[in-house]
Structure 1
Amino acid sequence: MTRLRAAGAALLAALATISLSATPAAADAVGYTGLVTDADGEPVANACLALHTSPDEVAAEYCSDAQGRYTIPGTADTTTTYKIRVHADGFRTEWWYSAPDYLNADRISLPAYDLVEQNVRLGQGSAGIKGRITDETGAPVEATVTIYGEDSNYEAIAYTWNLGDGRYQIDNVPPGRYRISVYDNSRGYQWVPGQETRDTATVFEVADGATLTVDEQVLPLGEIEARVTDSVTGKPVPRPCLYVMGGRDEFICGTNGLVRVTDVRPGSWTTEVTGGASYFPADPQPTVDVRRGAVTEVSYALRPGAAFTTTVRDAATSAPVDGICVHLVQPKWGGQSAHMWQYCSGADGRLEVGPFEADELATWNVYAYQADNPYNPPVRRYGDQWVTAAGGSGDQRAALAVTLQAARTITIPTIRMDQPGTITGTVRNAAGEVVPGVCSYPYAFHPGQGAIFGKNCSDASGRYTINDLGPYRWPVEFAPNANSGYAWQWSGNVADRFAATYTQVKSGGTATVNAKLVAGGVLAGKVTDPADPWATGYVWTYNARTGDIASASYGYFDSGSGGSFTVKGHRTQDVYVQYWVNKDCWYGSRQAQTVRVKVGATTTVAMNTDSTCGAPPTGVARAAAAPLGIRPDSRTGR
């Protein structure tokens, strides 16, 4: 017979067969069909298969005929899923497939196109296992309890949080012999009673009709005590941190060279050891063997790097400011990308930058800005600034010069953040027409890692907006796309930052800076490498006075182009030309020469790697296609 609840009424037409014959279903039928048998393979009549949508809700039920054959008709609705309970008088209730209850049963959808043969075997006799899981203090533990058949592949689980108070219970299990494990996320696996492996666990006998009580107390976890020192001086690392991968998946930090990590799972774990911005992480990453109930003592020596530290505060209240990030930018040659390596202040305002290797020892300017966090937007907005010795500025030339020192951490003056203002304006061409899609920047932009899009770029009406600028005098660089035909330029319609018009921004105010674009000049040429006729590379141009990137594009060359390249988008200016052929080369003699590029014209140069590689222009420390401070990805230093 068939019993349908309200939840299954929609299936009534498709599932209309009530009385099932002993003959197989028609060849064009779909759904599940098969035999219900006992442990000896004999058919079981009137065994019913109930389709559950929840532990207590039954959508439909189908029963076997006198020959033990059942059929569950299929449906085109494959989105609805069920768990199937099989029951018959004199037999143990089974859930599809061979599970004791709803929790352990497989969830299935009914076949829509095939008739699937699935036989069901019912067993006799029923037992149960229950108990309570506690910690070493006797408090209840939220854990997963699993029973494993000793003489079969039978497995079933129970969750202590379903019953509460650390209790678990599994009913309708076949009588027999079982081993039992307990697992929770922090402690890992253990075997009852108090064993680390299955082999040493007790085998419990569960009799028919009986419920066996098996309580368990979870084993204590391990602890790591790490001493972290400076590999050069031997002194304790002030703020060491330890991450135990898999043993305890979070950074635990300490002070004065000591870190204690409690509640570590037993096992052999790889560790990551750090000492803040002043030290390089331990390499290779050490492995630590942790035992339950024991303290494992380890020692690490970290190599110091170059770094600097400071505190970020509100300029008006002196309160520490969280989420202020910085870019490191060279005073000359290259500018900064819109997507640079980030270091950010913590809740206490502390900002650490580093560590840097010896070959990264340079003098830097620091550009500070407030990080965008859509999940936790800041209550108070702050404006961008070039960090100076006594406040902020919009002019990079006024920025504090931070010179890194090998294996040392220096302290720079406090960064004081002001309330922001805005610059907006309209971008037009020489004919007075608005130009959309031109991105604007309050600093010298390097396109090595992509541009910034959205509100900083001109819209269909030519309007752009730069928000969150500190209350200082700012220049604006307009950077049209390389294929637009327009030249890069600065506010005041000039070619370089030093000649730009600087506009005062006021907190809460809006200043206007418009732009009139001109047709860009082109630098064209050919690169030859006698040692490698198949050489490939790229060409950048830099303004000779400021060292900023001079145009929107870099010129790519390869053997297919015969070494030819073009670099578009210049206003009239003198530029240095840098080209890369697996080495750093500059146009001209070994001291490099400038090239005059003009608006609307094409200037041609030829470059040969024999005579011009390895020597940058005078005064250039480390110019590169991707200047130091621009990294392949971002990270936050705390």
Structure 2
Amino acid sequence: MTNRINTSRILRRLVAGLAAALLATFAAASSARADEPTGTIAGTITNNGIPVPDASIFVSAADGSFGESGMTDWIGRYTVSNLPVAGSPYRVSVEAPGHPKQYAHGKADLESATLFPVTADGVTTVDESLLPTGTIIGRFTDPAGNGVSAWVGAYGSQGVPTGATADGDGNYSISVLPGTYRVGFNYGNTQQYAYGTFSWSQASLFAVAAGETVTVNDVRLETGTIAGRLTNADGTPAAGISVQAEGDTSYGFGATDDSGAYRIEDLVPGAYRVYFRLPSGAQQWAPQALTRTQAQSFDVAGGGTVTLDEQLVPLGSIAGRFTDANGAPFPNVSVMVDSDNVEGNITTTTDAAGTYRIDGVPAADYRVRFYDWQTNLDQYAHGKRSREAADPITVRADQTTTVDDQRLPTGTIRVTAKDSLTGAAVDNFYVQVGEQIVSTTTGAVLLSDIAIGTHTVRGGGDDHFLPGNGPEVTVTAGQQAEVELALQPYGKISTTVVDRATGAPVGDACVYAQKVSTFVVELGCGGQSDSTGAVTLRVRDSGSYNVFVMPERGSPYGGQWVGPTGGTGTQAAATRVTVAPGVTTSLAPVRLDPVGRISGTVTGTSGDPVRHGIVSLVGPSVLLGSDTYHWPVAEDGSYTVDQLGPYRWPLLFAADNHPLQWSGGVGNRLTARLVPVHAGGTTDFDYRMKAGAKLRIGLPDANGAGRVVVRNAVTADPVGVAGNISPDVSIPVIGTQRVKVEITGVPPQWYGGTDFASATPVWIPRSGTVTITFPAN
């Protein structure tokens, strides 16, 4: 019966999800590269010259494609072999017993770690000495002075904590690298921070120097409890039902016992909604609501108990049998039941006889879906291909609703492709129908087990893409339909990335083609230079483009817009490259200059250092763009931008409770104040945020989906983003600029128009509030 602070929950899920994804990626990569050339990284780990045994070593490819681990022996030696040369270079991390994680050589974070190449059958030596540490010690007690056993974490700038468990008397000791930390106490999965707060933002900051011991004592805060009894609709105890309390800053969970009683302790004081997860997977929110929006909020005080008794709504069952097109049992089919009026995950699987049953389903109308990705099955009862066309299934209290269904007859689709410009056959492409994706190198794809009816065919290839949504094809039972895709060839830009001084090739640099005046960094690189420095960019739309190049983090080279005679920091001064479909345009070699830095302090309108800020070259992510080329602002307001070439650059500043603004306090990137960067040097540039104005946006049809994006009317850069859509949205926007307003979605909505070009510009003054309202549909 526990609860967790949102910060801890998000962090744990992020780390767990990232670890799982990395393990899956590394496993797949290991199998795929079994026959490729490999190398070895080996070395010795020491601490003040003394070998360190039993240290964990992890070697990871810079591109995230591969990882391998090892341990040091009794004299501090380690060897990590079977590292694919194709994955080179690599980072090396070290976790020694009683010592925080660090990266070779002598770095506290992954971003600044040294990159080490490996060669086929060669050994790259990476010796590492443990960094000096400081110590955080203290005692965690209850209000009476008794020790409390808790996990204590020291949270630095990297977010993932270093920690230790306080003993029975509440004493703890944590070894940390020099830096600034928050100290958190996790007891019963509740998290509080020194001194005496549940709030991450209000937590005290503790600076720890090498060799220094900092004492942080704290007292356990009072928490609250929700308890009660759950009964069935007939008044009998509802045993074995999980219960969860959701608050704005924390959550807690428990389960009912044989008498239906439950108790959720250690809740951070605040407002909570409570739901009961039925065996079917459906959720019932207190009091007797089937959706969160209908639930009541309950205030929980520190040291107090809220009594919440609940009775389950009337429940029924859904059962049936699913067969193939010939009437034979269809086992292992996922049966998914959903309703517009019931929340939860109601699902089961057909058995060997094709039968299924789901009990504990609230009385309501549902849709029933049958799904199996392995056989390309995806349909709704009864014999429908979409949820919109599915039959409503009514579940009544104390009754079993029978939903039998049979797989729709299927046919096949044969797909060929041609070049839309030349008419020549295309041999290498892929095709997608529903969730089935098949590729070919022989000029034809045969898709089997496609349900009868009309389908959209999508596809593309390495050198071609399919404009629009793709053609539709009608499948007849037992018949083969024929489709020819007219694939449009990409336009291409080819170049080579080299060292300006020596002409030597530079690999692993990210290269992007950007439409003139537009700067959007998508997830991953547009293209990456290989070991010879060569790179080719694929471009969908014809027109004029600029090229932006950014070497990898830690490179001796700085980023640049490619100019007529060398690098530049402004897109307006960059070379324009004309791109046409099916044509490869050659760009003169990109000559990289040495990297420089910009450092300074960001202060708010009050003059105090900002918290939770970033400094960036590109606007914030709106959909699936990455946060590449964003640098964090530390707790003391300081920042360092460390990947730029020696030119003059515009910088974007963002901080809590302030509008996004380019250096000089403007919304137009092309008119921003430019900050000079010097090769090998550091430019000091302090920035004080401007207050700006408020843009209030009325959204009569708000449904919570999508985001509101305010864009500069000239560059289309985001200058304000709201992640939660409600009927009344207020966004801080820097003044004296014209903006256009978008609601993301499919399709997007624009204020006063149908796209960016036709949208109505809105003038934002230096201060005050501007109000606009989207028309109701």
TM range, normalised to the smaller chain? 0.3 to 0.5
Report which of the two structures shows the higher radius of gyration computed on alpha carbons: 1
Q: Which has the larger strand fraction?
A: 2
Q: TM-score, normalised by structure 2?
A: 0.36
Q: Relative contact order (alpha carbons < 8 A, sep ≥ 6): 1 or 2 greater?
A: 1
